[in-house]
Amino acid sequence: MTTISVEKPKAIVRSGTRFISGDIACAEGALAAGCRFFAGYPITPATEIAEHMARRLPEIGGVYIQMEDEIASMAAIIGASYAGVKSMTATSGPGFSLMMENIGLAVMTETPCVVVNVMRGGPSTGQPTMPGQQDVMQVRWGSHGDYEIIALAPSSVQEMFDLTVQAFNLSETYRVPVFILADEIVGHMWERVRIPEHENIKIVNRKKPSVPPSNTFAPFKPDKDLVPPMAVFGEGYHFHATGLTHDERGYPRTESAEAQTKLVQRLCNKIRMNKERIIQVENAMLEGAEIAVIAYGIAARAALSAVRKARERGIRAGLLRLVTIWPFPEEQVAEVARQVKAIVVPEMNCGQIVREVERAAKETPVIFLSKLGEEPHKPSEILAAIEGVQK
Amino acid sequence: MMEELPHPYEKFLRKDRIPHIWCEGCGNGIILNCFARALDELNIDLDKVVVVSGIGCIGRVSGYTNTDSFHTTHGRPIAFATGVKLANPELKVAVISGDGDLFAIGGNHFIHAARRNLDIQVICANNFIYGMTGGQMGPTTPLETWTPTTPYGNIEQSFNLVHLAAACGAVYVARWTTLHTRWMTESIKKALQKEGFSFIEVVSECPELFGRYNKMETGIKMLKWFKDASQVQHFSDPAKAEITPNRIVVGEFVDIEKPGYTKLRQQMTMRAAEKK
């Protein structure tokens, strides 16, 4: 009587060329990746993801539930994941703040799940229908304690689909919450999207334990990649999971410095050690560039346009687009910094990722372009900064 | 020679987690015992049981139960259990947690799960205070009792949990004290078989903190209070069942039939699949 169906993926993936919004592309990406559980709470500008999931999930035997708040939404997707179902929630800044508590729980209990934050203007209620890139540090540091997560920043509707699929694959691979950090423009924009045939979509599922249930089963004993295979409820393992510091059996070890060190370092290292496999960046016209723009999300689109115009004017400019923003592509940024005489960083905030860029760029000067409110950066604004450096 | 006999409920416990952390005279062990007894008497497949708890003394119960179990963040066991139950409706999902966890920080999740008639069982160990942090007052601390954060007497009205649960739509509501072990076990058995949201409040003794601050510093003294104050009144008006120093109304308050959330969801899913 399980309601989660295993309908053939072919019937689920809406392959072909489609004209859809970023939020809908994100929902379709999740379904294509195997997501069958969505818990959320209405919030602008992410509501369309929930609405689309509310329609689509029951059709394919999945579960959509509107919870009483975002705290509950995050808790529910962790529960669903432990019951063996790929799960997701979607929100924006105010809801994201409420999720921080259980994001920590997902990190600590190594729960594969995907959290989408369609960023709007903050702080607080801020500007619900306006874009922002103000939560890029919150996603990294917002829950207490220290930990590592993975965050991806789509720049287009196509990437809302593609990166959501990847987010599920990464979360299943590393047993970690993975974040899609979109913004209001990418979420609400309508563009052409190519959805591949289902057999051409790469799907990763979590590792299952290779041992049968026993009274010595260790649910948090990692393999060489530092990721433990995942038992789920109902399979007979009778395992325990807790947000307390725990040992490989899953049992609380609240007074052991050794247990704390071993666990927290592994939670960080399973991401740090696999950085090369996780990080994605995109280069445009960086060959021979003297000035680099480093951007992500919506700001990267204007940046690409600005770099093209600069090249037309004979300025050797290039773009490094951060697709992964966490773990931060430090080495990729450092490499670009060694090559160029200055770096321009446009962001829709008061200066967040630019600090990471400065840290990685060392001696190379970094020019920051802040933008808040309705409009994203104009290509002309970024071009002016590039020309300023050139002079 | 003494023969070592296995505990009759050994198979329900994680032996490698014993001894437990609870204090001498604590009522939590009685609740765990009644829960194990209910599972045993119903002969429930332990592979299909998930015990979920929040933070607090009773929160540790999930670590002692030999089933799949999860110890969530403070106040969130019901929200977590919602995800588990909907993702795999075959599982019996029992939330066992405390009064502060379920009704202060987690109050919102309780009222909404009851409203949805989610098919889970919630057992609340009500010891009137926050035990784990040293006995501070909480949403069930009776008026004019003493705790470390009410040094001049508690001036806040307390929740009447059975009234709250009934008002939110729970299909089964009962209250017992840790003295009423047989009735408590019967109630847990009923709850485990019930379609929809069931709630059992267990008034439980914390002699170390609530007791010490209120002139009942041993388990026996607290149980004597329960014995003297308890009045069994089945299906009495839950609105009139506030707990006072002189009166603890116990019994079953609600036992009604209403379609459970899982069933309605399955019907809706079938409609959606046909429409596709």
What is the rounded average pLDDT of the residues B206-222?
Answer: 97
Check which CATH number belongs to the domain holding A193 and give it: 3.40.50.970
Q: Is residue B3 part of a domain?
A: no
For A203-249, the pLDDT digits (tens) are 999 999 999 999 999 999 999 999 999 999 999 999 999 999 999 99
Distance separating alpha carbons of residues A329 and A338, to the nearest angstrom: 15
Q: Is residue A135 part of a domain?
A: yes
**CA angle at residue A48 from A46 to A51, to 5 degrees?**
125
Last residue of a domain, one of A181, A200, A219: A200
On whether any CB of chain A is under 8 Å from the CB of B69, the answer is: yes
**What pLDDT is recorded for position B124?**
98
The answer to whether the CB atoms of A2 and B88 lie below 8 A apart is yes
Nearest CA in chain A to B71: A242
Q: Is residue B163 part of a domain?
A: yes
Q: Are residues A176 and A67 in the same domain?
A: yes
Phi, psi of A374 (to 5 degrees): -65, -50
Which residues of chain A make contact with B73, given a CB cutoff of 8 A?
75, 101-102, 104-105, 243
Q: Is residue A26 part of a domain?
A: yes
For B104-156, the pLDDT digits (tens) are 999 999 999 999 999 999 999 999 999 999 999 999 999 999 999 999 999 99
A47, pLDDT greater than 70: yes
**Residues with Cβ within 8 Å of residue A278, at least 6 apart in sequence:** A150, A170, A174, A271, A324, A327
A2, pLDDT greater than 60: no
Q: Are residues A77 and A173 in the same domain?
A: yes
Nearest CA in chain A to B47: A236
Q: How far is CA A279 from the centre of its chain?
A: 11
A245 CA to chain B: closest CA distance, Å?
11
- In chain A, the number of structural domains is 2
B10, pLDDT greater than 60: yes
Last residue of a domain, one of A168, A200, A232: A200
Residue type, B197: F
Which residues of chain B make contact with A65, given a CB cutoff of 8 A?
82, 86
Taking a C-beta distance cutoff of 8 angstroms, is the pair A94, A43 a contact?
Answer: yes
- In chain B, the number of structural domains is 1
Nearest CA in chain B to A216: B16
B35 CA to chain A: closest CA distance, Å?
17
SS3 A231: coil
Last residue of a domain, one of A182, A200, A218: A200
Check which CATH number belongs to the domain holding A377 and give it: 3.40.50.920
The answer to whether the CB atoms of B83 and A244 lie below 8 A apart is no
Closest C-alpha among A180, A113, A194 to residue A325: A180
Give the single-character DSSP code of A14. -
Distance separating alpha carbons of residues A46 and A40, to the nearest angstrom: 10
Q: Is residue B4 part of a domain?
A: no
Nearest CA in chain B to A61: B269
B145-152 CB contacts, 8 Å cutoff, 24+ apart: B145/B210, B145/B213, B145/B214, B145/B245, B146/B213, B146/B214, B147/B209, B147/B210, B147/B213, B148/B213
Of B48, B83, B273, the CB nearest to A78: B83
**What pLDDT is recorded for position B273?**
86
Per DSSP (E only), the strands in chain B are: 49-53, 68-71, 92-98, 121-126, 129-130, 136-137, 172-177, 198-203, 230-232, 248-255
**What pLDDT is recorded for position B2?**
76
A92, pLDDT greater than 90: yes
What is the rounded average pLDDT of the residues A341-368?
Answer: 98
Across A53-70, b (16+ Cβ under 10 Å) vs e yields bbebbbbbbbbbbebbbb
Q: Are residues A153 and A50 in the same domain?
A: yes
Of A63, A73, A75, the CB nearest to B72: A75
**What pLDDT is recorded for position A1?**
42
- Domain containing A304: what range? 283-390
Per DSSP (E only), the strands in A32-122 are: 37-40, 63-66, 87-91, 113-121
Q: Find the length of chain A.
A: 391
Alpha-carbon distances, residue A30 vs A57, A67, A206, B222 (angstroms): 10, 19, 16, 54
A330 CA to chain B: closest CA distance, Å?
33
- The better pLDDT of the pair B22, A6 is held by B22
Q: Is residue A378 part of a domain?
A: yes
* pLDDT category of residue A5 using cuts at 50, 70 and 90: low
Q: What is the pTM of this model?
A: 0.97
Taking a C-beta distance cutoff of 8 angstroms, is the pair A67, B82 a contact?
Answer: yes
Q: Is residue B261 part of a domain?
A: yes
Residue type, A284: A
**What pLDDT is recorded for position A207?**
97
Nearest CA in chain A to B269: A58
Which residues of chain A make contact with B272, given a CB cutoff of 8 A?
58-59
A312, pLDDT greater than 60: yes
The answer to whether the CB atoms of A238 and B83 lie below 8 A apart is no
User: Residue A248, Cβ neighbours under 10 Å: how many?
Assistant: 16
Residue B228 burial by CB count (10 A; 0-12/13-18/19+): exposed, middle or buried? exposed
Which residue shows structure tokens 């699949």? Answer: B273
In percent, the amount of chain B with pLDDT more than 70 equals 99
Distance separating alpha carbons of residues A234 and B50, to the nearest angstrom: 8
Residue A356 is encoded by which pair of tokens? 């990471």
Q: Are residues A196 and A293 in the same domain?
A: no
**What pLDDT is recorded for position B1?**
65
Which residues of chain B make contact with A59, given a CB cutoff of 8 A?
272-273, 275-276
Is the ipTM here above 0.95?
yes
For B217-261, the pLDDT digits (tens) are 999 999 999 999 999 999 999 999 999 999 999 999 999 999 999
- Quickly list DSSP for B52-65: EE-SSTGGGHHHHB
Give the single-character DSSP code of B244. B
Q: Is residue B134 part of a domain?
A: yes
Q: Are residues A195 and A317 in the same domain?
A: no
- Domain containing B42: what range? 10-275
Residue A17 burial by CB count (10 A; 0-12/13-18/19+): exposed, middle or buried? exposed
Of B60, B68, B82, the CB nearest to A233: B68
Check which CATH number belongs to the domain holding B100 and give it: 3.40.50.970
Residue type, A387: E
Alpha-carbon distances, residue A31 vs A56, A169, B85, B274 (angstroms): 9, 12, 20, 19
Q: Is residue B78 part of a domain?
A: yes
SS3 B267: helix
Q: Are residues A195 and A314 in the same domain?
A: no
The answer to whether the CB atoms of A240 and B79 lie below 8 A apart is no
Residue type, A121: G
Q: Are residues A73 and A175 in the same domain?
A: yes
A297, pLDDT greater than 90: yes
Distance separating alpha carbons of residues B49 and A233, to the nearest angstrom: 8
